Structure 1
């Protein structure tokens, strides 16, 4: 049976707000947590971008739920050897309740050190090598690696969990999805795409876990909820590869002027219609996802969690 988790947005909320949301999510009956990993928000209206590994440390003391990054890019801004240390420590603090979600990243977060932003095939190649390096380090043995993209010399993680950290791979196109099936411990997507799930499983994913996430804007006034979703997350409606190549929040704001409130209303579940919220999450379950994470846009989290606790989650359990 599909489980339902809550998606913590580091781009929109402060660290303390995220920790409080995690507590509320557990009390409301959600079974797991996703947390985004960003250096910048997508736009300045969102206004936050905490260091995710510090927040995960706080989550380990605030909740008993499993936690996963959705997603970390371990290729440019952070070297895979450093990412591996952060992930291993997180897994130890969470008592093994941590999965590392990885992806090929966005220029928005990864170009900050002045590195060139590679084309998609090179980014996937870098990601595959980074995953191999991290898996070696998770063994706790000394690792020396001289690869095409990364060098590691005499590196050894001394703080490691009892079992290696699972690495789930995000994939939006066929190539990335097939790579996730071939090398991932699971698959991550933000689209309820049954074809992608099938591709992952046929590419080697088998019965490994598939996780998906979506955003909603709960509120008693649907028009106001649409305006909130448009103000904060119009960037999610940008087409093609713009999300991967635009370099700053300012550029996302410029591009998002092309996104209308009507487009947001068509693509984001807004308001307080129980059937609409249930249908949005069930679309992922029907597509074969094992866990579905939902994020509330805006600040009325007490109302959102009460709505999901009393009306949406019980329906999804039927």
Structure 2
């Protein structure tokens, strides 16, 4: 039976709001937390993007739930040796309740220092090497590494947890899923795609944790909920590789006309029908996921948590 968690959106909410949502999630019966790791929001309407590691520090004191980044890119904006230190401290502060979710990233967040944005195959190579570097550092031993993409000299993490930090790898296509099955302790994806879960498990992932997530917009007025999703998260429905290669929030805003309210209504759970919310989450369960995370879009946070506590979570497998 899967566990159900809440997805904290750093792109949309200020730090104090995220901490309060985490408290409400725990009180409502959610069993884990995801938190996004972005330098920019996807668009100006979302309007936030706090430093995730500072927020995790606050969460470690506010709640007792497991916490995972969904996901951190440890390859361009931040060197894997620095990410390893941040993750190790997070694991210590949460008493081992932290998992590091990693992915190959988006230009939106990773190009900010002026580095070239590599093609997808190179980004996956960099991610694999970064995972190797971080795993060595998590041992607490001194590490020197001279690789194709990263150099580390005489680096040692003195603050490390008692147990190794699980690293889950995000993948949305066959190549990234193959990488996840080869080097990840778990697999992350955002669609209830059973063939990808099977690829991960048969490719070497075995019984590793498979996690997925979705965003919904609870509200008594379904039409208003649809408008809220289109205003804040139309980027979710953009096709192809645009999410990986567009460099600024304004570029995503220029593509808003491509996403209609009709598209949002057909592809996002909106409104207050418990059956629709249950169906969206059960699709992940049916596809073999171990953890399923849901995030609420827009300001109706308290109403969402009450709705899920009374109408949705009790009906889930």
Q: What TM-score, normalized to structure 1?
A: 0.99
Deviation at 1:256, TM superposition (A): 2.2
- Gap runs ≥5 in structure 2: none
- Separation (CA, whole Å) in 2 of partners of 1:131 and 1:183: 8
Residue 5 of structure 1 corresponds to 5
1:149 aligns with 2:149: yes
Residue 33 of structure 2 corresponds to 33
- Separation (CA, whole Å) in 2 of partners of 1:283 and 1:58: 32
Residue 208 of structure 1 corresponds to 208
1:42 aligns with 2:37: no
1:83 aligns with 2:83: yes
- Separation (CA, whole Å) in 1 of partners of 2:46 and 2:184: 31
Residue 187 of structure 1 corresponds to 187
- Separation (CA, whole Å) in 2 of partners of 1:81 and 1:207: 28
Residue 161 of structure 1 corresponds to 161
- Separation (CA, whole Å) in 1 of partners of 2:185 and 2:208: 6
Alignment of 1:239-258 (within 5 A): 239-258=239-258
1:61 aligns with 2:61: yes
1:286 aligns with 2:291: no
- Separation (CA, whole Å) in 1 of partners of 2:130 and 2:208: 20
Residue 22 of structure 1 corresponds to 22
- Separation (CA, whole Å) in 2 of partners of 1:103 and 1:255: 24
- Separation (CA, whole Å) in 2 of partners of 1:184 and 1:256: 35
Residue 111 of structure 1 corresponds to 111
- Separation (CA, whole Å) in 2 of partners of 1:107 and 1:88: 26
| Equivalent residues, number | 317
- Separation (CA, whole Å) in 2 of partners of 1:252 and 1:306: 33
Deviation at 1:247, TM superposition (A): 0.2
Residues 170-207 of structure 1 show CA distances to partners (whole Å, capped at 9, x for unaligned) of 00010000110011000000000000000000110011
- Separation (CA, whole Å) in 2 of partners of 1:252 and 1:261: 16
- Separation (CA, whole Å) in 2 of partners of 1:277 and 1:222: 13
SS in 1 for 2:258: coil
SS in 1 for 2:272: coil
Q: Which runs of 4+ in 1 moved over 4 A?
A: none
SS in 2 for 1:153: strand
Residues 114-152 of structure 1 show CA distances to partners (whole Å, capped at 9, x for unaligned) of 000000000000000000000000000000000000000
- Separation (CA, whole Å) in 2 of partners of 1:255 and 1:108: 14
Deviation at 1:257, TM superposition (A): 1.9
- Separation (CA, whole Å) in 2 of partners of 1:300 and 1:264: 18
Residue 305 of structure 1 corresponds to 305
SS in 2 for 1:239: coil
**RMSD between aligned residues:** 0.4
- Separation (CA, whole Å) in 2 of partners of 1:219 and 1:151: 50
- Gap runs ≥5 in structure 1: none
Residue 225 of structure 1 corresponds to 225
Deviation at 1:164, TM superposition (A): 1.2
- Separation (CA, whole Å) in 2 of partners of 1:183 and 1:269: 33
SS in 2 for 1:90: helix
Residues 34-66 of structure 1 show CA distances to partners (whole Å, capped at 9, x for unaligned) of 000000000000000000000000000000000
Residue 236 of structure 1 corresponds to 236
Residue 173 of structure 2 corresponds to 173
